[in-house]
Structures are given as C-alpha cells and as structure tokens.
Amino acid sequence: MNARVPDSGVLVVGSATIDVTARSARSPRPGETVRGGGSTLVPGGKGANQAIASAASGAPTYFVGCVGTDAFGTMINDELSDHRIDLSHLIPVEGPTGLAHIRVTEDGENDIVIVPNANAALTVENVDTAVASTRRNCRVLLTQLETPLDIVAHTLQCGRSAGLTTILDPAPAAPLPEKIWALVDIVTPNETEATELTGIQVTDVESAVTAGHWFTAHGVGTAIITRAGDGAVVVTKSDSHALDAQHEIVVVDTTAAGDAFAGYLAGSLAAGLTPDDAVRRGMAAGTLAVTVAGASPSIPTAGDVDALLDRGADRDLTPATIQGHS
C-alpha cells in the first residue's frame, strides 16, 4: 500500500445499527418456523460498516450518524472507537438505536429488515457541522440510503460544495429524486440495485454497461456496477470496461460484502490510487468479507486485502489524482 497522502481522509455519513443475525439451512416460508443453527448480535449498519472498512483500508475516517441512548448505542460507540474512527459527530439521541434483523442461509445469502430508530434523527445541521469541520482533512465523502433521503441529498450537496469526491452506495435501493444524480461523482450499485434504480435488467457485462450509461446520462460521473463473484463494470461518459474478480472463495455470509467494497474503494481513492486499482482493492475486500460470518466482524484488514491482491496479480497499486468539485 502506498504512503498516506495529505488530506486523505474519508467522511462517512450514514446509519449505525445493531445487527441481530439468525442462521439457518434455509429461510422460512410465510407462516413457517425453522430451527436456526446460530445467532450473533454485533454493531453494524451500512454507514458504520463502511466507516470501519474505510479505516481498515488505512484512511483517516470520520463518521457522522446517530445512535440511541441505550446499551446498543454504547456498543456501537465502543466498536467504532476500537477502529480509531473519529466520532466527534456521532450524535446520541433519546430513544432506541437502529436495529437490523438479518437471516443468513447455509449458502451465505441473506435478507434483512431494518428498523431505523435513531438513524431517522440525523439532521441537515448535523451534516453541515461535520462537513465544515472535516473538509480540510478529507478528500472523499461516502454515504448510503439508510438515513432519510432528504438528508442524503443534502449530504451530497454539502460534499460537492466542499470540493469532496462524492460516493453514493445506493442501498437499500429506493426511488431517488432526479436532482441527486448530478451530485454524485461515483455510484456503486450491485446488479439488483442497478436493476431497480434504472429499470434495466442487469444480468451480465453488457446489461451492466447499459445500466451504467443510464447513471452517467442522469449526471453521475462514474458508475461502478458490482457483480459479486463476477467482478465489476466501470462506466463513465466516455468509457466502459469490466474488471474480473480473479479470486475463488467459499461464501459464508454476504451481508457486508458491499460495505467492505464501498469503504475500501473510498479509502483507496482518498489515498491516491487510480480508480481501477481502488475498485480492485474494494473487490478484494468484498471477497474476503463473504468468507466470515457477521457484518462488521467480516471487514478485512488492509494486510489481508493487499496479500490477496498480491496473490491474484503481481502488480503495484499506483497513485493517481482524483478530482472532486469545487
């Protein structure tokens, strides 16, 4: 990994939850009860997971979000602190912390129910304060869709105004106001999310490119369509190409694969890697994440990610300048 560059931080604005996970051979049918094979209760949420991944990548990371004034809020605070994430803008609010109920089957697939709770309390003032105080330390802003959509739009606008490179992980997928897309430098949907957002059925490289051009036609700078074990497709207004995953693994739990990808992508771009090398590093992080049960516990270390990349190809990760908007 290259030496850290000045102002190489990542500002993550998003959700923090407690993940209650149950594992079973298969998901129950409606009205059916099945016996599980294990359970966990760990900190999670797309925002918190991505902040952990960004910090693990080596980037100075700042987190903006809300937790409740309960024991779960304390658990999240402690977990993020353990990863040396700046929590100056983690806001305690009266009431319960966000909760996610996750079911994972023996083939590693999952379904999730999210109860926002404290995450719904994030305000534009919280975001304004955080961006104003961290903009000189950061190059990249990363956000998702587990906080209110008006806050997401405001967050992207603030990042754009501050000259940060804005990354939107559009998950969980939801209809978005047209104005949001022009505020996004990089969007990172998986195939399912790209299909839902664009109306284009994404099943292969060709359809992923078509969906990517939908995003760029609506104002996005770069669309990165992730394709699980099949790699990713990178689309700009003038170019499109596929990047192969190059790693074969045994899938245990896919819950945090996208979060590992997004956090490592953001951290690697902030460190000065080329976009393609940042995507490759993100894919390696996502690959390792699915080999471990749980969300935040599955985020891999930078050493493990870079070792996997070294095994996949004997190549250097090259620094490059990324451009935000001033």
Binding site members for K(+): 253, 255, 289, 292, 294, 298
Q: Token digits for 306?
A: 């870079």
Separation between Cα atoms, residue 184 and residue 215, nearest integer Å: 10
Residues in contact with 101: Cβ distance below 8 Å, sequence separation at least 6, in sequence order: 20, 22, 112, 113, 115
Read out DSSP for 194-235?
HHHHHS----SHHHHHHHHHHHHHTT-SEEEEE-GGG-EEEE
Taking a C-beta distance cutoff of 8 angstroms, is the pair 170, 191 a contact? no
Which residues fall in the annotated binding site for substrate?
17-19, 45-49, 146, 259
Cα dihedral 173, 174, 176, 182, rounded to 10, equals 0
Element (H, E) at 54: helix 46-57
Helices 46-57 and 302-312, interaxial angle, to 10°? 70
Amino acid in the structure at residue 149 = L
Query: How would you classify the pairing of strands 86-93 and 17-24?
Result: unpaired
Separation between Cα atoms, residue 157 and residue 172, nearest integer Å: 20
Element (H, E) at 79: helix 71-82
86, 169, 185, 259: which is the annotated catalytic residue? 259
Q: Token digits for 83?
A: 């990863």
Q: What is the largest CA-CA distance in the chain?
A: 56
Separation between Cα atoms, residue 292 and residue 251, nearest integer Å: 8
Taking a C-beta distance cutoff of 8 angstroms, is the pair 61, 87 a contact? no
Amino acid in the structure at residue 247 = H
Distance of CA 288 to the CA centre of its chain: 15
Among this protein's residues, is 230 annotated catalytic? no
* Residues labelled catalytic: 259
